[in-house]
Amino acid sequence: MVTSNTYTFGSNTEIDDLIRESFERIGTVGDELTGLKVQSAIMSANLELTNWQGRVPLQWTRKRFLLSLYVNQPTYTLPTTITRIVDVAAVQPQRLNSGGTASSSAGGNAANCFDATATAGCIQTAPNGNISYAYGGGVTPSIQYVGITPVPTQATYTLAVEYSFDNVNWNLIYQAPTQIYYANQIIWFVIEKSINAQSWRIRETKGATLEIQQIYFSVPTVTGTGDRYLTPLSYTEWMQIPTKNSQGFPSSYFFNAQVDPYLTLWPVLGPTAANSQFTGLLYTAYQYSQDVTNLFNQFDVPQRFYDALVAGIAFRLALKFAPDKVALLKSEAQEAFQIAALTDATYVPLRIQPDFLNYMA
């Protein structure tokens, strides 16, 4: 048997390929694809991807996030893309900022970004610069948490996190979206697939000039008690707590999945040293897929779900342009999604953990 000897279908397939297939399933081909129909298909694709989040947890939409804990602050705003929370843990990232050499590609004092105390930071003089840290003595850390604070009151950056084995050739490991960074507030990135490397850096990618106060290249702690798991509360359980602002160390959380989702802790982090030993919340959440915006992008969807997506778009297009095919395409869409969902399941032993707190209540 002769095959292509390649695996490029899932890596170079663009949105227009799948949308064209969806139209062909309803009998629309060639010159019949007007601009209006294409825009209709893009809307159908976004509605289909949104609808998937209400069916089963999709493992490829699961991601870890890290935010800083602040004394006396009960509520934390979460990204608007989040649909549900899986796990929350209090953590103490271990910062690695000694024994190496800091460098800046565009002026300023890079060492200020890794000083243990707040200093003037590194103010660069040209756009699209980078600030790096090369660990000496054969140290090759696997950085998993990267935190950034800016020098000015606020700044907008589009940062990439990169690593190098030789401090010369750099490889992208995380691309952050364009976002605002506020003074005295650490914005964290979680590096899901980190590796051991000699050097690490952040790099601006969309024309801004970096003015960075602190960079936190960190790893999970290996000292103390380690991460501390927080238990979820329902809305009713949280409402029935008589002292919602009591201070201590947070042991529970309530997640409110509104248009602007947020997470509320209980108790509220107190100011004592014992309560402040954990400085961050590491949480796992499911989020929406990236939007479909034009025909020449790639889907934020794994290849095993392509057929389910095509079938779902075709069904939605049939509702508008081919009503005689609705029943058939609806059945095909449901079957294709069920098959794809089976490939996305996690096959591990089932464990049941009793909730004694609610039982006693």
Q: 89: buried, middle or exposed (CB in 10 Å: 19+, 13-18, 0-12)?
A: middle
pLDDT of residue 131: 98
pLDDT of residue 14: 85
pLDDT of residue 26: 95
pLDDT of residue 196: 97
Q: Find, among 316, 313, 131, the residue nearest to 213 by Cα.
A: 131
Residue 177 has pLDDT above 60, yes or no: yes
pLDDT of residue 361: 44
Higher pLDDT, 296 or 273: 296
Higher pLDDT, 136 or 28: 28
List the domains of the chain with CATH numbers.
9-53+290-343 (no CATH), 59-92+224-287 (no CATH), 94-219 (2.60.120.260)
In whole angstroms, what is the distance from residue 251 CA to residue 274 CA?
14
pLDDT of residue 143: 97
- The average pLDDT across 228-255 equals 93
* Unique residue bearing structure tokens 């649909």: 83
- The average pLDDT across 159-170 equals 96
For residues 173, 177, 178 and 181, what is the CA-based torsion angle, rounded to 10 degrees?
Answer: -80
**Is 263 within 8 Å of 255 (Cβ atoms)?**
yes
In whole angstroms, what is the distance from residue 100 CA to residue 122 CA?
17
Higher pLDDT, 226 or 189: 189
Residue 360 has pLDDT above 50, yes or no: no
9-13, 108-112, 278-282: the lowest-pLDDT one: 9-13
In whole angstroms, what is the distance from residue 197 CA to residue 143 CA?
8
Task: Write down the pTM of the prediction.
Answer: 0.87
